[in-house]
Amino acid sequence: MKQVLGVIFADSHYAKLGELTAVRPLAALPINGRYRIIDFVLSNMVNSGMINVAVVTQNNYHSLMGHLGSGKQWNLARKRYGLTLFPPFSNLSSTGSDSRIDILYGVLDYLKRSNQEYVLLAESNIVINQTFNDMMEKHLESNADITIAYQNINNYPSLDAVESYIYTDDDENVTDIETGENLFFATKRYFGYVLINKQVLINFIEHSKVRGKKGYLTNLIGKNIGNLKIKAYEMKGYGRKVATVSDYYTALMEILNKDVRDEFFKIDTPIYTKDKDMTPTCYKINANVNNSFIADGCDIAGKVENSIIFRGVSIGKNTTIKDSIILQQSEIGDNVRLENVIIDKKVIVRNNKELVGTKSFPVIVGKGKII
């Protein structure tokens, strides 16, 4: 897939993640112990053979830049092509912070200069380990102008977020696209990937800009149904779209299931991330860890059950952590009880504290807070 240029949107107006994305772009959201959520789409592109990828940022993008660097970890530090990061694009005529046509217009010159014939437009909040080779093959076989990925929501519903849904005929030709919340009769949820012929995209951007058309990408594509050949492609297997706190909590808790973990971590399609030189985790004499994902650099003296513990976390004596997510470099004191809690990075929970949420509404503690 060297003939495909990747464009990743680092943020999304659709996302409802509260404090978790208040200090970082959605793409930089920590996930699965040692990764950022953008690692999945970026690794999937690289594992598909793509060598030219652009990441378009919107706000609070410094942590994302620090994570991606030159793209070396993804073999994208190249003299020709490789990884390109675009700072936020500002346009006084924009009608909204998530006007995709404005964002694409900001990288129009970059699109025109690239030698790739096709463009894969991708959201950064999709947690899946799957290449795009089959999608590309189907796109070429059907001679489509645009191919849109979808997921059957009967398997992985997300009821709290505004979503786009795709309607097709029996041959997977797209007949309509609808955007809204809790559209109960829809079954094909847009899954964040659009494969499009580059010249079609360029014409699309220029014509839309001249006519003053703005808005979400799926809405703009929907207006061209009948003018362009638009196909749908089902993304099968395990995959999560992280658009709400519930999505995030569920996605991390599901990694504790071996079948899901095997879907995430495959030998032939690894998920790449930034390396950290940290010591192995130290388990003290009274530590008790059961069915949990523990990253390196931690210091654990208490009990951890059904939880995800990120790098560099310390957990004190007689402390119990259950069904919780503790992000990197947080300090949990002695005699603490945490259950159904999401602790952001560099949080300090002092001795003898208790925080208990529910699986539907986990308690969230923002970055750097002291409790």
Cα–Cα distance measured from residue 62 to residue 41, given in angstroms and rounded to the nearest whole number: 19
Predicted confidence (pLDDT) per residue in 299-332, tens digit: 999 999 999 999 999 999 999 999 999 999 999 9
3-state secondary structure of 310: coil
The pLDDT tens digits for 62-77 are 889 999 999 999 999 9
Mean pLDDT computed over every residue of the chain: 89
Residue 199, in any domain of the structure: yes
Q: What distance in Å separates the CA atoms of residue 211 and residue 209, rounded to the nearest whole number? A: 5
The pLDDT score that the predictor gives to residue 92 is: 39
Report residue 93's pLDDT band, with 50, 70 and 90 as the boundaries.
Answer: very low
Rg over alpha carbons for the chain, rounded to the nearest Å, is: 21
Query: What pLDDT band is residue 338 in, cutting at 50, 70 and 90?
Result: very high
Residue 73 has what DSSP assignment? G
DSSP assignments along 17-60, one per residue: -GGGGTSS-GGG-EETTTEETHHHHHHHHHHTT--EEEEE--SS
Q: How confident is the model at residue 155 (pLDDT cuts 50, 70, 90)?
A: low
Residue 273 included in any domain:
no
Kindly report which listed range (165-179, 210-224, 264-278) carries the lowest average pLDDT score: 210-224
User: Domain holding 304: CATH number?
Assistant: 2.160.10.10
How many independent structural domains does the chain possess?
A: 2
Last residue of a domain, one of 234, 264, 294: 264
- Whether 350 and 370 have beta carbons less than 8 Å apart is answered as yes
Q: Percent of the chain scored above 70 by pLDDT?
A: 91
| 216 and 254 in a common domain | yes
Band of residue 1 on the pLDDT scale cut at 50, 70, 90: confident
Together in a domain, 258 and 289: no
Give me the residues paired with residue 86 across strands. Answer: 56
The DSSP call for residue 279 is: P
Do 33 and 147 sit in the same domain of this protein? yes
275 within a domain of the structure (yes/no): no
CATH number at residue 231: 3.90.550.10
At residue 88, does pLDDT exceed 80? no
Specify if 371 maps to a domain.
Answer: no
Do residues 260 and 173 share a domain?
yes
pTM of the model: 0.92
Among 211, 237, 264, the domain boundary falls at 264
Give the chain's end-to-end CA distance (angstroms, integer): 49
How far apart, in whole angstroms, are the C-alpha atoms of residue 366 and residue 295?
A: 20
Is the Cβ–Cβ distance between 52 and 137 less than 8 Å?
no
How far apart, in whole angstroms, are the C-alpha atoms of residue 329 and residue 369?
12
Asked whether 148 and 231 are in contact (CB, 8 A), the reply is yes
Q: Give the end of a domain, one of 264, 295, 314.
A: 264
Structural domain boundaries, residue 143: 4-264
pLDDT in tens, 157-214: 555 567 788 999 999 999 998 877 656 677 898 999 999 999 999 988 888 777 665 5
Q: Which two tokens stand for residue 135?
A: 């999608």
Residue 277 in domain: no
Q: Is 309 among the domain residues?
A: yes
The mean pLDDT value for 51-68 works out to: 88
Domain contains 122: yes
Indicate whether 22 and 152 sit together in one domain. Answer: yes
